[in-house]
Amino acid sequence: MINLLYLATVSLLISSPRKAEITIENSLGQDRAEVISIPVYQLEEMLGPDFPKSELTLVEIGTGNSSEIQWVDEDLDGYFDVLLFWTEIGSNESKSYQVILSKDSKPAPKDPRTTYGRFVPERIDDFAWENDKVAFRTYGSEAQRLTDGGFKGGTLTSGIDCWLKRVDYPIINKWYQKHMDGGSYHKDDGEGYDPYHVGDSRGIGGIGVQVGEELYVSKNFISHRIISTGKLRTVFELTYAPWSADGIIILETKRISLDRGSRLFKMELLLKSDSPLPNLTTAITLHDGKGKTNLDSKAGWFRYWEQIDDSNLGTAIVVNPSLILSHQEKRTPIKDQSHLLISLDPKQDLSYFAGFAWEKSAEITSPEEWDKYLIAFSKALAKPLKITYR
């Protein structure tokens, strides 16, 4: 005899959306707007291993607002590893989100802000990346070949270039197209421009190995791999030819990620060497040395404020203080060799953040405001948002 009550219960369970709950707690006395990363295995524990990812939505409890999400396959094996979502949370506030699986769920409202990154073969072979606040680029092997061969148009550096934008929409493709059409992204037509000089310097957040007074560095990247690009985070890797630091052979891969809303990208260093490294040093170029530095090594932030053309630019590096071996300000008449240098412990997992604030973006217009931003960023880095699941 068929148990009709049992069948009805099973049918209800199958047709009803599966749910779980995620709570975010901010124990800092400052407001925060961040991208949250949720491991997929954690979702599988709550929703089952085969849950349909296309049906997942996150709804803030209390407001009913859906949150923007982005799936990321971090190891490119064909399976998503993390779910990203955007949260804005007040000082000492707690927020909860309902995780809902339903074909009828409403997606989050579209937000024009995004992140983006790509290889740019039409401009020799740059790799460029951006979000709604900042943009960057660095240089590939063809640019190195041109320089080594004495041809025009080349660039020989593994330093990081800043593109100064003052709009919240993407500009990379537009500016490169302007360049291809005979215009110049070195001229500000209202969206920003590229006046930042890298040359042989580290730019903002490039790396090297310091041995005595010598900073050994790699040349241009030789290959790239895009992990993810989307509304909330862009992630990619750059690999470099083996290089020598005072006889130590180094294999270098950088994994770079940039979140929406942040002025700083994250640099993760995946290094191998045939002998132990004395340090791994990152740096901010000081250009002509006329700007002013400030730092708090105990909190892990270092910055430079300088005039470029008719405006001012603040650049910075933020790092976990436990990684810092030493720091020094090196000013020299040798072109592109003046830096604020931060030496890190190579025996630990190495990562840090680097970026900038341009006065004409009209959000951070003084060194004091830039310091305030970096203080808040370093505090948030030291005290991540607490995430609980049920």
pLDDT in tens, 223-267: 999 999 999 999 999 999 999 999 999 999 999 999 999 999 999
CB atoms within 10 A of CB 72: 20
* CATH number given to 4-107: 2.60.40.1180
Please give the Cα distance from 154 to 221 (Å, whole number).
13
pLDDT in tens, 289-299: 999 999 999 99
In this prediction, residues 211-233 reach a mean pLDDT of 97
Q: What is the pLDDT of residue 19?
A: 77
**Weakest-pLDDT range from 3-17, 38-52, 188-202, 205-219:** 3-17
Task: Give the model's confidence band at 109: pLDDT under 50 very low, under 70 low, under 90 confident, else very high.
Answer: confident
CB atoms within 10 A of CB 52: 12
Contacts 24+ apart (CB under 8 A), 233-240: 233/35, 233/70, 233/72, 233/84, 233/115, 233/257, 233/258, 233/259, 233/260, 234/115, 234/116, 234/117, 234/129, 234/131, 234/258, 235/72, 235/74, 236/117, 236/127, 236/129, 237/270, 238/127, 238/138, 240/158
pLDDT above 60 for 4: no
Task: Give the model's confidence band at 183: pLDDT under 50 very low, under 70 low, under 90 confident, else very high.
Answer: very high
pLDDT above 50 for 12: no
8 A C-beta contact, residue 101 and residue 210: no
Q: Nearest CA to 24 among 110, 94, 121?
A: 94
Beta-bridge mates of residue 99: 20, 58
Q: What is the pLDDT of residue 1?
A: 41
8 A C-beta contact, residue 91 and residue 107: no
pLDDT above 70 for 16: no
106 vs 28, higher pLDDT = 28
In this prediction, residues 97-108 reach a mean pLDDT of 85
* The model scores a pTM over 0.75: yes
Where in the chain is CATH 2.60.40.1180? Answer: 4-107
Task: Give the model's confidence band at 104: pLDDT under 50 very low, under 70 low, under 90 confident, else very high.
Answer: confident
Q: What is the pLDDT of residue 79?
A: 95
8 A C-beta contact, residue 79 and residue 120: no
pLDDT in tens, 141-151: 999 999 999 99
Residue 268's identity, in one-letter code, is E
Please give the Cα distance from 339 to 284 (Å, whole number).
5
pLDDT above 90 for 17: no
Q: What is the pLDDT of residue 5?
A: 39
pLDDT in tens, 325-361: 999 999 999 999 999 999 999 999 999 999 999 999 9
Task: Give the model's confidence band at 320: pLDDT under 50 very low, under 70 low, under 90 confident, else very high.
Answer: very high
Where in the chain is CATH 2.70.98? Answer: 116-382
E strands, 319-358, in order: 324-330, 339-344, 350-358
Burial class (CB in 10 A: 0-12, 13-18, 19+), 296: middle
Give the CB-side neighbour count of residue 326, counting CA atoms within 13 A: 9
CATH of 116-382, one of 3.40.50, 2.60.40, 1.25.40, 2.70.98: 2.70.98
Query: Please, what's the largest Cα pairwise distance for the chain?
Result: 93
Q: What is the pLDDT of residue 177?
A: 97
Please give the Cα distance from 248 to 264 (Å, whole number).
30
